[in-house]
């Protein structure tokens, strides 16, 4: 939709492929708005605080929303199962495994998926974050993160959680709009947090791209290797997604492309005790029945998977470096 809008504004013809893609994106945005309105009605009736996240916020309030395949809604941990049950009562059924910070997706035919979050992987939730949340005018009952928290969440989600999306136009557009929601104090808060983060360079590069885009300046792509890796993965390799394996492979590949800091964080994360129970049934049962043994087994699995993923990612990273240098 963003590309079509810019072509129309410049008076240029819109190719059929772009027109079709923009139509599909608009359908998903309208579906997301409907899902969020439904959730707003449910949580409002229950007096349940709920925060719309990321692209869902843009779908509700932005004049130029971005494409999305699901909507993420954050509730307090005790309310997550309640909201999930309410959604099931509306015809949305659970599918797939849960994540470390969200329940299994809830889906309905011809609608975008819904993820009910009880935590955030990017940073720890506290009462201050909840107190800074602001109501969403177009969805009474839903809130959005405070301006600084929202921008910080988008930056961390792209750089630290989904490193393969660093520099992706869709995320740069979303971050550029979030910048416009911040005053000088909020931007200063984000920059202060950024300077103290191990991935401060990558976070700063993404923020700089978003600022250039928002200001209408030529945007310097600071993530050429990441872009090349995505072309290699989706083109010549055509790898299929697997939640258990592909996540580790992608993390290892983009950590190798990102640099030493990414690789150290990847290794430290593998050894770190996860803040949430395992989304895998047997592992969750083992952790509950024998906590110490369960944690050690889970850590050993994560480390072994990381070692295997790094070995598999090394030759792909070498190809990507060659392609990006060309």
Q: Is pLDDT of 131 > 90?
A: yes
pLDDT for the residue 294: 62
Stretch among 36-50, 84-98, 197-211 having the lowest mean pLDDT: 84-98
pLDDT for the residue 68: 92
Q: CATH assignment of 1-145?
A: 3.30.460
Q: Is pLDDT of 301 > 80?
A: no
Q: Is pLDDT of 283 > 80?
A: no
What is the average pLDDT across 70-89? Answer: 96
* CA distances, 322 to each of 43, 155, 165, 169, 224 (Å): 51, 28, 20, 23, 11
Read off the pTM.
Answer: 0.86
pLDDT for the residue 54: 94
Using a pLDDT cut of 90, give the percent of the chain over it.
Answer: 57
Q: Is pLDDT of 135 > 90?
A: yes
Confidence of residue 241 (pLDDT cuts 50, 70, 90): low
Confidence of residue 243 (pLDDT cuts 50, 70, 90): low
On average, the pLDDT of the chain sits at 88
Name 117's bridge partners.
74, 102
Q: Which two tokens stand for residue 154?
A: 């988008």
What is the average pLDDT across 211-235? Answer: 91
pLDDT for the residue 238: 67
Domain ranges across the chain: 1-145, 146-222, 225-325
């Amino acid at each position: 939709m963003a590309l079509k809008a810019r072509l129309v504004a410049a008076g240029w013809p819109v190719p059929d492929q772009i027109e079709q893609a923009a139509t599909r994106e608009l359908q998903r945005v309208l579906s997301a708005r409907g899902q969020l309105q439904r959730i707003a009605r449910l949580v409002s009736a229950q007096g349940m605080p709920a925060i719309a996240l990321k692209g869902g916020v843009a779908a509700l309030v932005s004049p130029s929303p971005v494409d999305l395949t699901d909507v993420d809604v954050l509730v307090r941990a005790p309310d997550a199962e309640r909201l999930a049950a309410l959604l099931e009562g509306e015809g949305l059924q659970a599918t797939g495994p849960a994540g470390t910070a969200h329940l299994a997706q809830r889906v309905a035919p011809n609608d975008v998926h819904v993820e009910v979050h009880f935590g955030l992987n990017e940073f720890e939730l506290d009462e201050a974050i909840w107190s800074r949340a602001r109501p969403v005018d177009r969805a009474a009952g839903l809130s959005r993160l405070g301006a600084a928290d929202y921008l910080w969440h988008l930056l961390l989600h792209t750089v630290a959680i989904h490193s393969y999306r660093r520099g992706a136009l869709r995320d740069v557009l979303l971050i550029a709009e979030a910048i416009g929601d911040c005053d000088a104090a909020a931007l200063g808060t984000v920059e202060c947090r950024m300077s103290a983060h191990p991935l401060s360079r990558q976070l700063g590069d993404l923020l700089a791209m978003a600022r250039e885009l928002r200001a209408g300046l030529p945007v310097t792509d600071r993530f050429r290797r990441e872009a090349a890796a995505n072309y290699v993965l989706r083109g010549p390799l055509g790898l299929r997604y697997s939640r258990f394996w592909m996540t580790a492979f992608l993390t290892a590949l983009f950590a190798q492309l990102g640099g030493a800091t990414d690789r150290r964080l990847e290794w430290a994360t593998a050894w770190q005790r996860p803040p949430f129970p395992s989304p895998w049934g047997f592992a969750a049962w083992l952790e509950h029945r024998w906590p110490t043994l369960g944690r050690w087994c889970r850590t050993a699995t994560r480390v072994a998977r990381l070692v295997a993923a790094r070995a598999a990612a090394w030759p792909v990273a070498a190809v990507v470096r060659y392609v990006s240098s060309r």
